[in-house]
């Protein structure tokens, strides 16, 4: 039992190290030096396992680190439960896998909703006449507009919609998808227990 607690603690610590590595890649000027090099050597072999997964890339956004961290967290939780004397059964493992998958997908959808909402806020409150909002808004648009329009096209029955309307439709749709997924997971785990 003690070995499971040690494994859980090691996975949690490694997850924290990987998190720091990911954050440092976003900050220019920190990608050099001994500390960064050690972090890269520790974390990159694991993080690189997820970088090639295409569905985790939306435009210029790469969500593979989020999946990598979720899997580490799931492993830490599983070993922690085993270390506390929990027993493992097939239904429990299936429920655990469903919850982990839901957490990953839900986190991705939540991030996308926030991204869409930020872009919509820039459109609504921008002082320029075109509502562009500058460089940041253009970067967001180049990544999300194909996704936004593909969601909106389903509900607009093929009619052309404004970008603002497409964002609103997409946000509402993704919120309903979140709710439906949560209900489905609750139903599945309810069947297992």
Using one digit for the tens of pLDDT, what is the confidence trace for 128-183?
645 555 666 677 777 788 889 888 888 887 788 899 999 999 999 999 999 999 99
Strand intervals (E) in the chain: 57-58, 61-62
Give the H/E segment covering residue 21: helix 2-26
Place of tokens 């969500």: 63
Percent of the chain clearing pLDDT 90 (strictly above): 22
Rounded to whole angstroms, the Cα distance separating 31 from 26 reads 9
What's the mean pLDDT when you consider all of the chain?
83
Rounded to whole angstroms, the Cα distance separating 72 from 121 reads 34
pLDDT for 128:
61
Decide which of 51 and 87 is more confident.
51
Do residues 10 and 80 make contact, with C-beta atoms less than 8 angstroms apart? Answer: no
Provide mean pLDDT across the span 51-70. 80
Provide mean pLDDT across the span 122-133. 67
pLDDT band at 23 (very low <50, low <70, confident <90, very high): confident
Place of tokens 């029955």: 157
pLDDT at 83 over 90: no
pLDDT band at 114 (very low <50, low <70, confident <90, very high): confident
Nearest to 138 by CA among 160, 127, 123: 123
């Amino acid at each position: 039992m003690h070995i499971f607690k040690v494994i859980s603690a090691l996975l949690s610590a490694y997850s924290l190290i990987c998190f720091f590595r990911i954050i440092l890649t976003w900050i220019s000027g920190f990608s050099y030096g001994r500390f960064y090099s050690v972090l890269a050597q520790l974390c990159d072999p694991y993080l690189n396992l997820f970088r090639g997964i295409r569905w985790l890339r939306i435009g210029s956004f790469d969500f593979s680190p989020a999946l990598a961290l979720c899997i580490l967290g799931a492993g830490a939780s599983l070993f922690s439960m085993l270390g506390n004397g929990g027993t493992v059964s097939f239904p429990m493992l299936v429920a655990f896998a469903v919850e982990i998958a839901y957490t990953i997908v839900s986190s991705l959808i939540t991030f996308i909703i926030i991204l869409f909402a930020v872009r919509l806020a820039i459109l609504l409150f921008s002082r320029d006449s075109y509502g562009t909002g500058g460089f940041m808004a253009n970067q967001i648009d180049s990544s999300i507009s194909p996704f936004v329009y593909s969601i909106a096209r389903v509900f607009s029955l093929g009619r052309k919609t404004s970008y603002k309307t497409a964002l609103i439709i997409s946000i509402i749709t993704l919120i309903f998808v979140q709710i439906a997924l949560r209900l489905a997971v609750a139903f599945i785990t309810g069947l297992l227990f």
